[in-house]
Amino acid sequence: MRLLHTMLRVGNLDESLKFYCDILGMKLLRQKDYPGGKFTLAFVGYGDEADHSVIELTYNWGVDSYNLGDAYGHIALGVDDIYSTCEQIRAAGGKISREPGPMKHGSTVIAFVEDPDGYKVELIQLGTQGSAEASKQLAVNS
DSSP state of 62: T
Active-site residue, selected from the candidate residues 56, 99, 114, 122? 122
* Alpha-carbon gap, residue 33 to 19, rounded angstroms: 20
Burial class (CB in 10 A: 0-12, 13-18, 19+), 140: exposed
Chain centroid to CA 134: 24
Query: Known catalytic residue: 122?
Result: yes
CA separation (Å) from 90 to 25, 96, 99? Answer: 13, 7, 11
Q: Would you please indicate which residues are annotated as catalytic (active-site) residues?
A: 122
